[in-house]
Amino acid sequence: MKLITLLTLALTASSLGLEVKGLELYKTANESFPEAGKEFKAYLGDKVLATKTGEWRECITPLATHEDTAYTWTAVYRGGEPMCKLNARVKYFTPDYMNSTASQNHSPPTKLDVRWKKKGDKSSLCLWGLFKTANCVKKLSENDVVESNEFVEEPSTYSQILHYEGKKGDILEFSYSEVSVALGIERRARVLKLDLSTEQTLVYKGAILKIISATNNEVVYSVSKGFTRGN
């Protein structure tokens, strides 16, 4: 699960899910990163553009790692790793890692949902299973956990990715590929070249990048449009 941006926004209900200031949650969408219309800098080998399929979800991210051991079970809430709701109907957050481990009975690690209770300096993180809480970390501040909306990539789909590969004379080189993290497959890889002596805009598979300046080690650019699915 890959996640992008940390935004705390007000939620309103809609017929198809939740809408956050024009951003619809829990609905499959194609998103391009970085966003269009702004200036960005990338270095040699960096990703300059990616278009992914997934959905925006409500998430929480502890700023530090917290652990709690009760009886023979230890729960871990990893700092810096978002936990997100699976859909608009659930109240609890699901991590992308095994968060509960038994120390004595040789049971395999398990993944349990997490309850975040926001209550000033008495906030808490707890595992939620079998209709009850366990392994609570208490007396947290509300600021110890970031509430956000994150883009969660659908693992069975292919992301369209463009990397910067440097400059030779007036020629800029980029590498394009389509990658599935879940399947471990990279396909349709190819090198794209842009001759700055005749053109300042790279156009490929619906994507439009405007080059502002470039050296072999870095490129400054803006995105006018992301990749178009199906091209």
List, as one string, the DSSP characters of 63-98: SS-EEEEETTEEEEE-TT--EE-SSTT--SBB-SS-
Other residues' Cβ atoms within 10 Å of the Cβ of residue 122: 12
Secondary structure element (H or E) that encloses residue 38, with its range:
none
Predicted pLDDT at 155: 84
| pLDDT at res. 7 | 35
- With 80 as the cut, is the pLDDT of residue 8 above it? no
pTM: 0.77
Confidence of residue 21 (pLDDT cuts 50, 70, 90): low
* Of 161, 190, 160, the residue nearest 173 (C-alpha): 190
84 within 8 A of 152, measured Cβ to Cβ = yes
Q: Residue 69: which of 99, 97, 113, 112 has the closest Cα?
A: 99
Smallest CA-to-CA distance from 25 within 65, 84, 107, 76 is with 84
User: Cβ(82)–Cβ(73) under 8 Å?
Assistant: no
What tens digit of pLDDT does each residue of 24-56 get?
999 999 999 998 999 999 999 999 999 999 999
Kindly tell me if the per-residue pLDDT of 19 is higher than 80.
no
* Domain map (residue ranges) of the chain: 30-53+155-225, 59-152
Contacts of 136 (CB under 8 A, 6+ apart): 68, 124, 125, 126, 127
Over range 54-78, report the average pLDDT: 95
Residue 113 neighbours by CB distance under 10 Å: 18
